[in-house]
Structure 1
């Protein structure tokens, strides 16, 4: 018996997850969050989770949204790169702490730091984006989704 493809085995559940992600992206856009920031978050969370399938989706999406390749290359070292501004740093810190499920104190500090740069609607939209990319990472990893390279 092979690995179940969760997106196929429980199709309706997966469709609802996709609909939730679409609603989250719409809420993020309505809240004024930039697509470049959302894609940086998607990539960073996928890096932490080791989800190749999601990286194969979101790295090209980030490029299409206008994220320069050098920023993508250096994203794992965002703390040490001056080119990442304070709002990006706050969002990336929040993404990392919600992905790793750090201590309550660190999550509270990351949320407080993000709240200095984002209003309540933006902050909740960021958190939903983080939660959902984590869910998609786990579906892809559990389903053993493979990246296909073009020759």
Structure 2
């Protein structure tokens, strides 16, 4: 593990079996979300927003390109921090982003039932569950990368 401070190890490398389980959980979550009719663009929009809130440079460097690849408009990515005011987001995206933010920044005063009712205008209970699993997992991956001080993921020339 050259170049890694032994006091700040890459926790995914030190305990790869735990990280492998995280990857499997993420794959299962993505499969469940797709089965509920949620598209990769919406899920990546959620991943990007959560990673913005948490300040995870590594996950942003992975999920912003993944969002573009999944068809998310550049304008939406540009305006994502202001999604509440920006008129470019549809009802389903707004509901997913509301769920993402309220599960990432835990506000004890927030009414989780009211949030679910609001989200339920655009998402089924199963879709809400799938989005919340996405949020739980990206929050976990953010923390893995932040704890490990992972660098920005740079795309290979072949990906350009």
TM range (shorter): over 0.9
Provide the TM-score with structure 2 as the length reference. Answer: 0.89
Question: What's the counterpart of residue 29 of structure 1?
Answer: 34
Provide the TM-score with structure 1 as the length reference. Answer: 0.94
- Number of residue pairs matched? 151
Change in 2 beyond 3 A, CA 1:65/1:16: same
4+ runs of 1 displaced by more than 6 Å? Answer: none
Tell me which of 50, 65, 81 is aligned to 2:55. 50
Return 5+ residue gaps in structure 1 as ranges: none
Structure with higher helix content: 1
Return 5+ residue gaps in structure 2 as ranges: 1-5
Deviations 1:38-92 (CA, angstroms, capped at 9, x unpaired): 0100000000000000000000001001111111011000011111112211110
SS in 2 for 1:146: coil
Tell me which of 79, 92, 111 is aligned to 1:106. 111
Q: How does 1:1-150 map to 2 (within 5 A)?
A: 1-103=6-108, 105-149=110-154
Q: In the alignment, is the contact (CA less than 8 A) between 2:95 and 2:123 conserved in 1?
A: no
TM-align CA RMSD: 1.5
SS in 1 for 2:111: helix
